[in-house]
Chains A and B, each alone.
Chain A
Amino acid sequence: MTAVDGISFSIEAGESVAYVGPNGAGKSTTVKLLTGILVPSSGTVSVCGLTPFRDRVTNAKNISVVFGQRTQLWWDIPVVESFRLLGDIYEVGAADFQRSTAELTEVLELGDLLSVPARQLSLGQRMRCDLAAALIHSPRVLYLDEPTIGLDVAVKARFREFIRYLHRERGLTVVLTSHDLGDIEELCPRMMMIDRGRIIYDGALADLNQRFGWEKRVSVTLTAEVADAHLLALQALGSLPVRVEHRTDASFDIWFDSRIAKAGEILRSLPTSLPVADVAIEETGIEAIVRQLYEGQLSFAEPSEDPPSSGADRG
């Protein structure tokens, strides 16, 4: 089975990169290749000048992984003991260990948590301790695998702030795998999107909007049910490049290319026979673009300068 195929990329030291894709796209496999857990059947992998699977142990000292769904703390023993053990496992010198734990304890506010066994921590507390645990040996590369899953808004914000701090203060290279676009927007200027084992996008997150943000949606809600309302609308809009989607008998969505059509034009063209109660116009945000990419509704192969000839026949 081929999990990833023909993937080629390089990340500079000190860069922050998001690595996204739908479930099962091959993200974890890539991370496993980078950590040396998996041996590639062909091709080369190099991290900080090392081949991970050949120098797995040396490579392990350069990197660190934080899994949002798993903890690397020892469940039954106080957090501080996990730190001590990790210090030993990574052979951190006494002075470095002292400095590292002192800094992490202060920045992540772990003072009260150190004596608590990991199993008694809340998810947010655990995540803070897990982050500290991952950083005790001062890695050069940090892999974050779904780090904010299940965290509340406040904790999420603090987490992101901390990662930015690390990036700034320590020049840490961050590779982030996440389904949370907030994480990506706030942490990573660069995004790589992978699907079915291939990279389908590699570039700035902001560029996505320029490239795909032209699709807009008008959501129409009617005061009463009208049979085939969406078809009536489509008929009336006949000349415009739109796609109409039936939601219920009393509501429908009109998708249109904002480079060709204007929302006002569409509203004016709606048949007066439809009892319109409410209209909402939405731009396609990053979230929607990514969702559509996941669902295969958008394709990067399609040149962005070339608007679709007519959207009408797609509805």
Chain B
Amino acid sequence: MRIVASASTRTKPVPKYVSIAQTSLQQAIAYRLTTLFTIGLTFIWVFILYYVWKAAYSDQAVIEGFTWDEMRTYVVLAYAINALVGWRIGAQMMATIRSGEVVIELVRPLNYCGTQLARATGFAVVEGILSLIITVIVGLLFLDILRPASPFMAALFILSLMIGFVSKALIVFSVSLLAFWTLNGTGLMWSQQAIVQVLSGTIVPIALLPGWLRLTAEVLPMRGIVSTPLTIYLGQAEGAQIVQLLALQVAWLIVLWIGGNWAWRRAFAAVETQGG
């Protein structure tokens, strides 16, 4: 699994962002114990929610349009998807901002936001995808989750998943920028995690949220992280609805990218870097 290209064998340059992604992949492998813990933690939540919902469904067949089969599938996959972008890029960014090390990245010929996305991708390949694969296997074998509605839906699910992945990475990026002002990221990270989990539909499907919160969640970008891909996976949307959902995801992606880059320039102009 280790990808090692020694300097002497570097015969062909790799595009810079790909190379950055490869390096964070290596880092994630270097920290395999942490990675395993992350995956283990995901499973604990999946099992808790699985049994809570099982109890809820003992006396009714459908809750807010979800059958027990669908809900089971939703719970298992929601957590796996949520694990695709972990706390790592956020934590790393905040640490470098706090220590002033961020300066080193700035003297390089890189787009800072793009660099963080490449990093997130590298981590996701190890952490997220591994956890997704394990969850799906365990889910299919032991928890009896549903298969995608159709091969076409499966393809759209993957597309939606990828857009959602980049959106989440951009959200984490933008929130981490607040470290320029607050200097302590732990609280920020926790509140962000909680808010994203609720609004993305990780904890419960958005359809089950109370009225006003549901309306809010339906227009916000967090929806695209978990709820939208799963709606497609379960075949709960079709035709024009799917186009609408994907369009909303793409629109938010553009807004988040532009916003993230703008916020980055503002953050940097406004605040002196730590440690001179």
Q: Which residues of A contact B (CB under 8 A)?
A: 3, 24, 28, 32, 35, 37-39, 56-58, 60-61, 63-65, 67, 69-70, 72, 74, 76-78, 80-81, 83-85, 87-94, 97-98, 101, 114
A84-B5, A85-B23 known, 8 other contacts, Cβ within 8 Å: A38-B269, A60-B108, A67-B104, A74-B27, A76-B31, A77-B30, A88-B18, A91-B13
Q: How far is the CB of B21 from chain A (nearest CB, A)?
A: 10
In the complex the two chains form, is A84's CB within 8 Å of B19's CB? Answer: yes
Instruction: Find chain B residues with CB under 8 A from A74 CB.
Output: 23, 27
In the complex the two chains form, is B12's CB within 8 Å of A89's CB? Answer: no
Residues A65 and B104 in contact in the complex (CB < 8 Å), given A94-B11, A101-B7: yes
Q: Which residues of B contact A (CB under 8 A)?
A: 4-8, 10-16, 18-20, 22-23, 26-27, 30-31, 99-101, 103-104, 106-111, 268-269, 272-273, 275-276
In the complex the two chains form, is B104's CB within 8 Å of A76's CB? Answer: no
Instruction: Find chain A residues with CB under 8 A from B7 CB.
Output: 80, 83-84, 87, 97, 101, 114
In the complex the two chains form, is A77's CB within 8 Å of B10's CB? Answer: no
Q: How far is the CB of A87 from chain B (nearest CB, A)?
A: 6
In the complex the two chains form, is B12's CB within 8 Å of A57's CB? Answer: no
Instruction: Find chain B residues with CB under 8 A from A57 CB.
Output: 109-111
Q: How far is the CB of A78 from chain B (nearest CB, A)?
A: 8
In the complex the two chains form, is A58's CB within 8 Å of B107's CB? Answer: no
Instruction: Find chain B residues with CB under 8 A from A97 CB.
Output: 7, 10, 13
Q: How far is the CB of B264 from chain A (nearest CB, A)?
A: 12
Q: How far is the CB of A60 from chain B (nearest CB, A)?
A: 4
Docked CA distance A72–B12 (Å): 23
Docked CA distance A64–B109 (Å): 10
Q: How far is the CB of B87 from chain A (nearest CB, A)?
A: 17
Instruction: Find chain A residues with CB under 8 A from B22 CB.
Output: 85
Q: How far is the CB of A75 from chain B (nearest CB, A)?
A: 8
Instruction: Find chain B residues with CB under 8 A from A60 CB.
Output: 107-110
Majority SS at the chain B contact face: loop
Instruction: Find chain A residues with CB under 8 A from B4 CB.
Output: 78, 81
Report 17 cross-chain contacts, Cβ distance below 8 Å, ordered by A residue.
A38-B269, A57-B110, A57-B111, A60-B108, A65-B104, A65-B107, A67-B103, A74-B23, A76-B26, A77-B26, A84-B5, A88-B19, A88-B20, A90-B109, A91-B109, A92-B13, A98-B10
Docked CA distance A72–B105 (Å): 8
Residues A76 and B27 in contact in the complex (CB < 8 Å), given A88-B19, A92-B13: yes
Q: How far is the CB of B253 from chain A (nearest CB, A)?
A: 23
Of the candidates A28, A65, A89, the one whose C-beta lies within 8 Å of that of B109 is A89
Q: Which of B4, B272, B276 has the most CB of A within 10 A?
A: B276
List the A residue with the shortest CB-CB distance to B22: A85
In the complex the two chains form, is A39's CB within 8 Å of B269's CB? Answer: yes
Instruction: Find chain A residues with CB under 8 A from B275 CB.
Output: 69
Docked CA distance A58–B109 (Å): 7
Q: How far is the CB of A152 from chain B (nearest CB, A)?
A: 24
In the complex the two chains form, is B103's CB within 8 Å of A70's CB? Answer: yes
Of the candidates A3, A63, A78, the one whose C-beta lies within 8 Å of that of B107 is A63
Instruction: Find chain B residues with CB under 8 A from A92 CB.
Output: 13
Of the candidates B19, B31, B268, B276, the one whose C-beta lies within 8 Å of that of A85 is B19
Q: How far is the CB of A68 from chain B (nearest CB, A)?
A: 12
Instruction: Find chain A residues with CB under 8 A from B16 CB.
Output: 88-91
Instruction: Find chain B residues with CB under 8 A from A32 CB.
Output: 103, 273
In the complex the two chains form, is B26's CB within 8 Å of A84's CB? Answer: no
In the complex the two chains form, is A70's CB within 8 Å of B23's CB? Answer: no
In the complex the two chains form, is A77's CB within 8 Å of B23's CB? Answer: yes
Of the candidates B15, B18, B23, the one whose C-beta lies within 8 Å of that of A81 is B23
Docked CA distance A108–B4 (Å): 23
> What 10 pairs across the A-B complex have the smallest Cβ distances?
A88-B19, A60-B109, A28-B276, A57-B109, A76-B30, A89-B16, A80-B7, A37-B106, A72-B104, A65-B107
Docked CA distance A89–B115 (Å): 10
Instruction: Find chain B residues with CB under 8 A from A81 CB.
Output: 4-5, 23, 26
List the A residue with the shortest CB-CB distance to B105: A72
Instruction: Find chain A residues with CB under 8 A from B12 CB.
Output: 94
List the B residue with the shortest CB-CB distance to A65: B107
Instruction: Find chain B residues with CB under 8 A from A77 CB.
Output: 23, 26-27, 30
Instruction: Find chain B residues with CB under 8 A from A85 CB.
Output: 19-20, 22-23
List the A residue with the shortest CB-CB distance to B275: A69
Q: Which of A24, A63, A74, A89 has the most CB of B within 10 A?
A: A89
Residues A94 and B13 in contact in the complex (CB < 8 Å), given A39-B269, A81-B26, A88-B19: yes
Q: How far is the CB of B13 from chain A (nearest CB, A)?
A: 6
